[in-house]
């Protein structure tokens, strides 16, 4: 299997598949309401909505790096502020995450296999890479998402136990 196919499969499994470690993103986010997504049931922890926006920001940034851009903070910021509260706005936020994921998969699909081994350039430095290849970056996003999906699962569990 090519590196590109392997990366796409890894991402799809995390997002909508049957991962070995537990539930996929689609399963974890299924049925979460806007009110639940906004809640802060654990002191000091981000909300589900904040975490989803963070995941969207880093998915977009990963696509940018896959397309040859230098490493930098996401255009939206690392932890974008929630700007909505309604169910429609929550659905729109989830739709933005899905669109970012689709764009990343398209970028991987359109890339040459050899480009997966190119280092992502560091911001402001010419000729030096970040140490991570494009493949490392996409694979790292899958790991990043798994980490945050675990947080979302804990937030959901806390909400079900009555913490708001």
In a domain, 154, yes or no: yes
pLDDT for res 131 = 82
* Among the listed residues 15, 10, 24, the one whose alpha carbon sits nearest the alpha carbon of residue 100: 15
pLDDT for res 123 = 77
Say what angle helices 134-160 and 3-16 make with each other, to 10 degrees.
10
pLDDT for res 162 = 79
In a domain, 50, yes or no: yes
> How many structural domains does the chain have?
1
Cα 13 to Cα 54: distance, rounded to the nearest angstrom: 20
In a domain, 83, yes or no: no
pLDDT for res 83 = 95
35 three-state secondary structure: helix
CATH of the domain at 105: 1.20.120.450
Residues in the chain predicted with pLDDT less than 70, given as ranges, are 124-130, 163-164
């Amino acid at each position: 299997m090519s590196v590109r196919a392997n990366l796409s499969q890894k991402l799809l499994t995390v997002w909508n598949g049957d991962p070995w470690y537990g539930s996929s993103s689609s399963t974890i986010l299924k049925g979460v309401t806007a009110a639940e997504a906004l809640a802060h049931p654990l002191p000091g922890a981000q909300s589900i909505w904040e975490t989803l926006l963070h995941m969207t920001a880093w998915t977009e940034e990963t696509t940018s790096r896959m397309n040859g851009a230098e490493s930098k903070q996401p255009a939206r910021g690392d932890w974008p502020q929630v700007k909505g509260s309604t169910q429609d706005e929550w659905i729109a936020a989830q739709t933005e995450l899905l669109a970012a994921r689709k764009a990343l998969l398209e970028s991987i699909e359109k890339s040459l296999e050899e480009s997966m081994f190119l280092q992502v350039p560091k911001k402001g430095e010419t000729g030096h890479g970040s140490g991570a290849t494009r493949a490392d970056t996409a694979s790292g996003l899958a790991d990043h998402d798994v980490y945050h999906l675990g947080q979302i699962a804990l937030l959901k569990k806390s909400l079900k136990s009555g913490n708001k």
